[in-house]
Chain A
Amino acid sequence: MSTALIRNPLVLAFLSILVILAAGEIISPGFARGDQISKLLTVSAILGIVAAGQCLVVIGGREGIDLSVGVMISLGAVLAGNVMSGSNGAIAPAFLVAGGATFLIGIVNGLGVTFLRIPPLVMTLGMTGVVQGGLTVITRGIPSGNAAPALMSFVNEPLFLGLPGILFIWALIGVLMWFLLRRTDLGYAIYAMGSNERAATLVGVPVRFIRVLLYGLSGLFAGITGVLVIGYTGNSFVSVGDQYMLLSIIAVVIGGVSLNGGTGNYFGVMLGAIALTLLQSVLTTLQLESWGRQLTFGVVLVLLMLLYGRSKRQRV
């Protein structure tokens, strides 16, 4: 019983968060203060929302992975910045344009993966190059556009209970993801096709349609993240999303979702995103040389994966 509890990814992720918080508080007193935590949660929310899409694609199986989320975030940020140009009235259109464009890109990824049967890693890697090119066409290499003031305060300033609005959006996404995965036929179909695609097809799950949709949703989440990123920073630059590409995959893995598909849930991924953000922030406060920070980050990642990212042993 107790080992089962320790083996539970949710419990593990939560424990790692507590350990990192404690370490942060010891290293620099005040690290775990309320307003600090709210700032860290804001950064976690940005990673967590893009990881929602990544998590769906991974659970859906067939080596599902989306390497194009990074450039799609950048695209979302650039599009949103240009649509808003600092005006509050244009926030909703900004979400529509950014989310719509990245949703369509995700659909193209999904079509390539399902109908041409290109491995997801290759398809989304290739798409990364195309979207990168699209970004250069739109921006001509010069960053442009800026966030509306209302969006910036929604992301950065306390809205309710001392927490910024973005956290409520994230919580809402968490509930929606739980509902989708655990309370709808679609959710069960996603797990079914992730663990055994053939069986899912035979019982009548529209596997191809759902897989295309999952990649579309991953694009949509990346686009929304892009809008929030420009809300966080104020203005965009062409590579603003790059760092999230592999971080979102790591958040999914340390959140207890197997890259083999068919298992895991989004609450784990949320905790994974928080743990990753805290870890990076503790390492920043450590005032190490950059190599020391990077080394610790890499080693801790390996240790976290050792806790629950392992595959099954081969058996005869």
Chain B
Amino acid sequence: MSPLLRFMTSRTWLVALAALLVLVAINWYLQPNLMTPRVVRSNLSVFLPVALVAIGQTYVILAGDIDLSVGAIVSLVNVIVVSLIASFGGDVPGILGAMAIGVGVGIACGLVNGFLVAVLRLQSIVSTFATGIVFGALALLVMPTAGGSVPSVYWRSYGGTLGGVPVIYWIYGVSLLMVAFIAARPFFKHLAAVGGHRAASFQTGLPTTRIRIGAYALCGLFSAFAALCLTGETASGDPLLGQALALSSILAVVVGGTALAGGRGSAFGSILGAIVVGTISNVVFFARPPFEYQTLIEGAITLAALAGGVLVARGRRTQ
């Protein structure tokens, strides 16, 4: 195999990147102001929560499982953080404390999922659907209806700049660093091993149970990050905030070239996948098809992108 081909086949996200470039070109043609800093920033801040959840979802999927409860985790963390900030009095230490607790809640939810799936050996699709119901119920307990608000310092900082660079770009940057850090750890190789050949990795002595729990905990962590961002975006609490995120994160992961069967893929691809899925929406919107055809066209392009992501992930498998 030529070095170029090897480079390409070992990076399943390249096709997502190619799709993204094409989509951005079309989007730019349809929406001439696309590349102005303001529009780029607003688009990227819309894509950020899905991208964060998709990063977490990637680790779970790499290990051969799936997490349908991420949307409920996002809602739960959102209402907990908003309520805690209010009860802590709304000053900066209180806000930071509430955010830390929110992150802890996200990780705890992930640990519960990991326990059910890896220790009690429940099937991940149905058990994370059930835990999603439970987390959603807890969110309703904390805050029965949408409401509350966070102090302006929270959403002003989220929407503001730090050192001249918008805060959301810092969040993208830090997330990319975390993704790179995790990808460089042995843990990441173990994840892929557990997802690709679970029996073999068990037989070679990998702690498969602990690895799968770790993946769910990471997923809970990144879902909590997404919740903190959404809280900055909406500046209030909503027990149903995350509803659509489970399915859209899976879309992003698959479009990003991660194999749903586990074992192959990257969280970087999922970030690209989230941006691709979001850009598809934008392109369809700015192409101005008849109103009633918008969802259909969006659905068809998304299905094509999904098929593309799957074929890429598999193309590598047959090498």
Binding site for B on A (CB under 8 A): 63, 65, 112, 116-119, 121-123, 125-134, 136-137, 140-141, 246, 249-250, 253, 258-259, 289-295, 297-299, 301-302, 305-306, 309-316
Contacts and interface: CB of A to CB of B under 8 A. Distances in A.
B307 interface: yes
B126 A309 contact: yes
Given A122-B306, A290-B140, A314-B202, A295 B134 contact: yes
B303 A294 contact: no
B247 interface: yes
Interface string B208-237: 100000000000000000000000000000
B137 interface: yes
B260 to A, nearest CB: 4
A119 B260 contact: yes
Interface string B265-304: 0000000000000000000000000011111111110110
24 contacts: A116-B310, A122-B254, A122-B310, A125-B247, A125-B250, A125-B251, A126-B303, A128-B299, A130-B296, A141-B292, A250-B130, A289-B144, A290-B140, A291-B140, A291-B141, A295-B141, A298-B134, A301-B126, A301-B130, A302-B134, A305-B122, A309-B122, A314-B198, A314-B208
B314 A117 contact: yes
B33 to A, nearest CB: 27
A302 B141 CA distance: 20
A302 B303 contact: no
- Identify the 10 closest CB pairs spanning chains A and B, nearest first: A133-B296, A129-B299, A298-B133, A298-B134, A126-B303, A294-B137, A295-B137, A291-B140, A133-B295, A130-B299
Contacts of B296: 130, 133-134, 136-137
A5 to B, nearest CB: 22
A127 to B, nearest CB: 7
B201 to A, nearest CB: 9
Interface of B: 66, 116, 120-123, 125-127, 129-134, 136-141, 144, 198-199, 202-203, 208, 247, 250-251, 254, 260-261, 291-300, 302-303, 306-307, 310-311, 314
Given A306-B122, A310-B121, A130 B303 contact: yes
Contact of A299 (B134, B136, B314): B134
A259 B140 contact: no
A49 B261 CA distance: 29
A194 B120 CA distance: 24
A132 B299 contact: yes
Contact of A297 (B133, B208, B299): B133
Contacts of B295: 129, 132-133, 136
Contacts of B120: 306, 310
A112 to B, nearest CB: 7
A302 to B, nearest CB: 5
B121 A129 contact: no
A311 B299 contact: no
Nearest to B299: A129
Nearest to A117: B314
B306 A126 contact: yes
Contacts of A116: 307, 310-311
Contacts of B121: 310-313
Contacts of A310: 120-122
A305 B302 contact: no
Given A295-B141, A302-B127, A126 B198 contact: no
Given A119-B260, A133-B296, A295-B138, A305 B127 contact: yes
Nearest to B66: A121
Given A259-B123, A305-B123, A314-B202, 20 more contacts: A112-B307, A118-B310, A119-B260, A121-B250, A122-B250, A122-B306, A122-B310, A126-B302, A126-B303, A127-B303, A134-B296, A253-B123, A259-B125, A298-B131, A299-B134, A301-B130, A302-B134, A305-B126, A306-B120, A309-B122
A246 B310 contact: no
Given A117-B314, A118-B307, A253-B126, A302 B116 contact: yes
A118 B180 CA distance: 28
B227 to A, nearest CB: 18
Nearest to B305: A126
Nearest to A294: B137
A246 B136 contact: no
A133 B293 contact: yes
B292 A136 contact: yes
A128 B299 CA distance: 8
A262 B306 CA distance: 27
A295 B141 CA distance: 9
Given A250-B129, A291-B137, A291-B138, A118 B122 contact: no
A289 B140 CA distance: 9
A114 B307 CA distance: 13
Contacts of B294: 133, 136
A182 B293 CA distance: 44
Given A125-B247, A302-B122, A140 B306 contact: no
